[in-house]
């Protein structure tokens, strides 16, 4: 599950995309070349008035793209986070971009600006119609007692992300042990229509922080600890049992590990749900066989029914799994990456023969608003012209064809643009 995306036609393809997302056939591609020394001028961020679109930081109704790994040769360990803003009914506009550098956007700790600054999750935490960004940092810590909270909140606005980050407040009663409180997952875990956060605690416990949050970074509800069978929460959240509250996946540890669901409810996540065998990644959706979970294992892709009963094994290899409705038929398709090529599985059951390309899957979302999710790939550029810290980012539009994705990129650009 790459990046911070809550995928699908609604605000959470991981809320299973239970309704079909209509749309028309894809319009003519409009490739934007940004290779070599060519630069795209910086354009203003479109002003919005608020929306419920996923990852819409400026609230104009179009999803925006978050890039954590920027090509920034010679600019230090972490140049920051890049955002490419979208235009409703059009798609991503590489010129409408914003660089969230630690120096400008991170809250310092004891006068020290974080060296690390990475996106973790995105949701509307203060319920104002603008998506907010949860980022991880590296505050100084002497190793004694409980470490400081490394998470900060950056708030969206009509002009996109604005203002310095604020440190996430985790009340003492909602912390346990001396692990770093990290691995945030967004979701409406108590069914009140407001986004909450779940954060790693320690020793099989999670911290539940009910939203909405204040502009100072504190939950307005009563935070508490949740006992689970795992230790590492993994997003995006999903309402797998259809009760109107999001459920959160918890893995035994990082890497290849067993996992289990913690089901949401009126008081937040609490009840144990389905368990899944060891795998490198897990994702959820409404597949051809019904809604359930897909687990990427060393022997293939295992698709399970909602209550955990094994449905079938699909031949697919890789280390990362993403989900989205690529052809707009209301069923979830899977994107398997991390191997030599990116492969697709229609409806979670039928592998697509052709590869979608190579590179790291950055996002799966409907950027152009045609009712079909698109796939964004990022790869290191291999040409001599791009030596010195360039990459290639391509947006492949979803299609109703047998290949699920158009072979012709809708956009091609480089993240090196953020540092110029």
Q: What is the mean pLDDT of residues 115-123?
A: 96
Confidence of residue 53 (pLDDT cuts 50, 70, 90): very high
Name the β-bridge partners of 102: none
- The reported pLDDT for the residue numbered 13 is 38
pLDDT of residue 87: 95
User: In 3-state terms, what secondary structure has residue 103?
Assistant: helix
Which pLDDT band, with edges at 50, 70 and 90, does 229 fall under?
confident
The residue with tokens 């950056």 is 154
Per-residue confidence (pLDDT) for residue 415, from 0 to 100? 93
Share of the chain above pLDDT 90, in %: 77
Residues 286-335: tens digit of each pLDDT? 999 889 999 999 888 999 988 777 768 999 989 999 999 999 999 999 99
Output 79 or 86, whichever has higher pLDDT: 86
Cα separation, 268 vs 188, whole angstroms: 8
Mean pLDDT, all residues of the chain:
88
d(CA 4, CA 136): 12
Q: Which residue has the higher pLDDT, 60 or 74?
A: 60
Q: How far apart are CA 274 and CA 259, in angstroms?
A: 9
By CB neighbour count within 10 A (0-12 exposed, 13-18 middle, 19+ buried), where does 405 fall? Answer: buried
Average pLDDT over residues 171-195: 96
Q: How many degrees, rounded to 5, is the angle at CA 216 between CA 214 and CA 220? A: 30
Q: Which two tokens stand for residue 219?
A: 């939950």
pLDDT of residue 397: 98
- The candidate with the shortest Cα–Cα distance to 363, out of 133, 94, 68, 19, is 68
Q: Tell me the average pLDDT across 58-70.
A: 96
Report pLDDT for 389: 65
pLDDT score recorded for residue 203: 92
User: Could you tell me the two tokens for 194?
Assistant: 């407001």
Task: For 8-33, write each residue's pLDDT tens digit.
Answer: 333 333 333 333 333 333 333 343 44
pLDDT in tens, 240-264: 999 999 999 999 988 899 999 999 9
CA distance 377 to 360: 5
- pLDDT at residue 75, rounded to an integer: 56
Where do we find the tokens 């953020």?
A: 418
- % of the chain with per-residue pLDDT over 70: 87
**Separation of alpha carbons 300 and 286, rounded Å:** 19
Assess contact for 392 and 411: CB atoms under 8 A.
no
Q: How many CB atoms lie within 10 A of CB 350?
A: 13
Out of 35-49, 163-177, 245-259, 265-279, least confident range? 35-49
> Which DSSP helix (H) or strand (E) runs through 98?
strand 91-100
Q: Which residues partner with 376 through β-bridges?
A: 363, 395
What pLDDT score was predicted for residue 138? 95
- Report pLDDT digits (tens) over 341-373: 999 999 999 999 989 999 999 999 999 999 999
């Amino acid at each position: 599950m790459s990046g911070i995306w809550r995928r699908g036609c609604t605000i959470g393809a991981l809320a299973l995309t239970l309704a079909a997302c209509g749309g028309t056939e894809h319009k003519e591609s409009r490739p934007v070349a940004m290779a070599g020394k060519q630069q795209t001028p910086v354009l203003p961020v479109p002003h919005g008035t608020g929306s419920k679109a996923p990852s819409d930081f400026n609230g104009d109704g179009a999803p925006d793209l978050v890039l954590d790994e920027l090509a920034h040769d010679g600019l230090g360990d972490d140049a920051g986070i890049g955002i490419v803003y979208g235009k409703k009914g059009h798609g991503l506009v590489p010129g409408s971009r914003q660089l969230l550098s630690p120096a400008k956007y991170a809250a310092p700790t004891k006068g020290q600006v974080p060296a690390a600054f990475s996106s973790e999750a995105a949701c509307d935490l203060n319920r104002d119609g603008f998506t907010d960004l949860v980022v991880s940092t590296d505050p100084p810590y002497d190793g004694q007692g409980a470490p400081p909270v490394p998470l900060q909140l950056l708030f969206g606005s009509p002009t996109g992300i604005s203002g310095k980050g604020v440190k996430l407040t985790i009340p003492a009663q909602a912390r346990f042990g001396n692990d770093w409180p990290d691995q945030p997952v967004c979701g409406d875990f108590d069914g009140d229509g407001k986004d909450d956060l779940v954060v790693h605690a320690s020793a099989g416990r999670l911290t539940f922080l009910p939203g909405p949050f204040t502009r100072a970074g504190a939950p307005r509800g009563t935070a508490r600890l949740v006992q689970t069978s795992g230790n590492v929460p993994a997003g995006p959240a999903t309402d797998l049992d259809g009760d109107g509250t999001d459920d959160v996946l918890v893995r035994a540890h990082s890497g290849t590990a067993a996992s289990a669901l913690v089901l949401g409810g009126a008081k937040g996540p609490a009840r144990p749900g389905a368990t899944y065998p060891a795998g490198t990644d897990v994702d959820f959706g409404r597949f051809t066989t019904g809604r359930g979970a897909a687990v990427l294992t060393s022997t293939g892709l295992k698709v399970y029914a909602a209550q955990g009963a094994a449905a079938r094994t699909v031949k697919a290899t890789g280390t990362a799994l993403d989900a989205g409705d690529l052809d707009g038929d209301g069923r979830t398709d899977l994107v398997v990456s991390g191997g030599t090529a990116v492969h697709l599985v229609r409806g979670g059951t039928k592998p697509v023969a052709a590869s979608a390309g190579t590179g790291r899957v950055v996002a799966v979302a409907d950027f152009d608003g045609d009712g079909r999710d698109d796939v964004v790939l990022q790869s290191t550029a291999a040409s001599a012209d791009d030596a010195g810290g360039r990459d290639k980012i391509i947006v492949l539009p979803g299609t109703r064809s047998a290949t699920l994705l158009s072979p012709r990129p809708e956009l091609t650009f480089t993240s090196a643009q953020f540092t110029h």
